[in-house]
Amino acid sequence: MFVLDETSWIAAEADGYLEQIETLLDNMDQLRDDNRECVYSEELFYLEVYDGKTLYELFSATGELTIPRHVQERIISAFGRLKTWSDLERPWPDELDVSIGGVGPTFAPSLAWAMKQASQGARDAVPCLIAPAVWPEGLHAVAVGADQSDVWLASDVKHPGYSRWMAVHGTGRPDEFATWLESAFPNLDFVENCTDGIKEMSLGYRDLINSIVAALSVLSDHGPRIFRESWQTAPNAFGALGVTISDENGNTKSNKVAEKEHTRTFAGRSIPFWWHIKLQPDRDRIHLDATPLHVGNKIIVGIFCRHLKT
């Protein structure tokens, strides 16, 4: 779920405003396509967004800023499918003015609501969809009165930052982590139920999740580039990014028992996962296969384990 920031619909100037709101609409469309919910506050439609006019008043305004018909239709269609957060059984904020990084207080009901959700804990946190020209992106302390909590502000709902933060702070078990894999690591595929292997690692889940998310983030963000180059240089390239990775040696690959132990089924194919990330020098591994990159597919993560036997 995301919540839509009202103040991101305010125009600092006419130039660039239509692009600003169409980007917000693009993000709302993306959430719908991904079957993710977006909620808003009806206060948006009472807010003066430009030259003393509300958003709907700009539909028929005369002057330097008028919202054209095709954008009007997108707005009507987008909001016709959304709920307001006031319809949800969630706590309401005590005040509706917020401050971020010393800026404010600003009347921003949905940011105040997002702060209230975050104050309940990471599992209840809701990221706020913003325009980057209005608020800074990323994780920020949002203050409402004397209360303050960290809220994720996102101008791109496909950006993996929020999902990675939630994977670290909002999960307590491998199966919960698995629900964030697709959005947190968009350049990776995962063998079904592979995260169950985290249970076999040498440390507890909460002790491991930071390093697991950090390693997979590097693999997703930089792995496709690194593995499209010479694989001999991959260990050094990943090492420069803080990830220790290596391929199994020839003796292991020629061992039939080892091959069977390294093999998992993905999309109907049996794949040996020889490359592995080392979370610790002598244990706790994430095995992967990068050969799909040669046909334009994603790196596959196949095994989480303490250490394979052979």
Same domain, 191 and 142: no
β-pairing verdict for 128-129 and 147-154: parallel
Same domain, 100 and 14: yes
End-to-end C-alpha distance for the chain, whole angstroms? 44
**Separation of alpha carbons 75 and 86, rounded Å:** 20
Q: Is 138 helix (H, G, I), strand (E, B) or coil?
A: strand
Torsions phi, psi for 232 (to 5 deg):
-65, -25
**Separation of alpha carbons 127 and 134, rounded Å:** 16
Read off the pTM: 0.87
166 in a domain, yes or no? no
72 in a domain, yes or no? yes
Task: Write down which residue in 154, 182, 215 finishes a domain.
Answer: 154
Same domain, 182 and 260: yes
Confidence of residue 310 (pLDDT cuts 50, 70, 90): low
**Separation of alpha carbons 231 and 274, rounded Å:** 13
Residue that the structure tokens 């028992």 belong to? 257
297 in a domain, yes or no? yes
Q: What is the CA radius of gyration of the chain?
A: 23
Number of domains in the chain: 2
Same domain, 17 and 93: yes
pLDDT tens figures, 230-273:
989 999 999 999 999 999 988 888 889 989 999 999 999 999 99
293 in a domain, yes or no? yes
Does residue 309 surpass a pLDDT of 80?
no
pLDDT tens figures, 101-142:
888 799 999 999 999 999 999 999 999 999 998 999 999 999
Q: Is the peptide bond before 105 cis (omega within 30 degrees of 0)?
A: yes
pLDDT tens figures, 139-159:
999 999 999 999 999 999 999
Cβ atoms of residues 116 and 91 within 8 Å: yes
Q: Which domain holds residue 251?
A: 173-305
